Amino acid sequence: MNYEERDTYGMYKVTAGLATEPDTSAGPGPRLMGAHTLIDNDVCNQNGEDLGDIKELMLDVQSGRVAYAVLSFGGFLGMGEKLFAVPWSALTLDTVNKRFVLGVDKERLNAAPGFDKDRWPDMQDPAWRKEIRSYYGTTDDADAEGRFADDPLGQSSG
């Protein structure tokens, strides 16, 4: 299911006659999106291979930014699935296909640091954050500036 199909408040409503794309001049547009509409969105890689879907968004409450998208990959009917915290900045919204793109192949994602639903990592741990950023080749502005809830003054070396 994509963000348009999950839109219960009409944010992405097609308003221009017979147009097939949402009228972004009359709503929040693709730069501002409802968090609820992003859950369960498909994620693929640049080759169009399915990498799973977004199960949760992790917000840095102190800075007001999305820190990670929790991606579910693998398994069958919820059994044996692996979860991955992907830095939000590693994802790109594909508005044409209404999905997100992550620049990794399936093998690399399968080998990524992941976790299961009963054993979440400490996402505030600076070493964990560094490992995840390094794996996906990203530097999140909030993280680089040290503005996480455990360090509101930006004093960490993280």
Q: Which amino acid is at 38?
A: L
Q: What percent of the chain has pLDDT over 70?
A: 69
The confidence score (pLDDT) of residue 114 equals: 93
Collapsed DSSP state (helix, strand, coil) of residue 77: coil
Q: What are phi and psi of 126, to 5 degrees?
A: -55, -35
Please state the length of the chain. Answer: 158
Neighbouring CB atoms inside 10 A of 27's CB total 17
- The tokens describing 97, both together, are 């296909």
Q: Which amino acid is at 72?
A: S
Report how far residue 70's alpha carbon sits from residue 72's, in angstroms, rounded to the nearest whole number.
7
Burial 49-77 (b: 16+ CB within 10 A, else e): eebbbbbbebebeebebbbbbbbbbbeee
The confidence score (pLDDT) of residue 4 equals: 74
Query: Would you identify the CATH topology of the domain 39-144?
Result: SH3 type barrels. (2.30.30)
Q: What is the pLDDT of residues 106-155, one digit of tens each?
A: 999 989 999 988 899 999 899 999 999 999 999 755 444 443 334 443 43
Region 14-23: mean pLDDT is 54
The confidence score (pLDDT) of residue 139 equals: 78
The confidence score (pLDDT) of residue 26 equals: 58
Quick one: 19 exposed, middle or buried, by C-beta within 10 A (0-12, 13-18, 19+)?
exposed
Instruction: Check if the beta carbon of residue 55 is closer than 8 Å to that of residue 40.
Output: yes
- Whether the pLDDT of residue 59 is over 70: the answer is yes
**Higher pLDDT pick, 15 / 127:** 127
**Higher pLDDT pick, 117 / 8:** 117
Q: Which is it for strands 99-102 and 42-44: parallel, antiparallel or unpaired?
A: parallel
Delimit the domains of the chain by residue range.
1-34, 39-144
Confidence (pTM): 0.74
Tracing tokens 């503005």 back to the chain, one arrives at 147
CA angle 47, 52, 56 (to 5 degrees): 130
Neighbouring CB atoms inside 10 A of 38's CB total 20
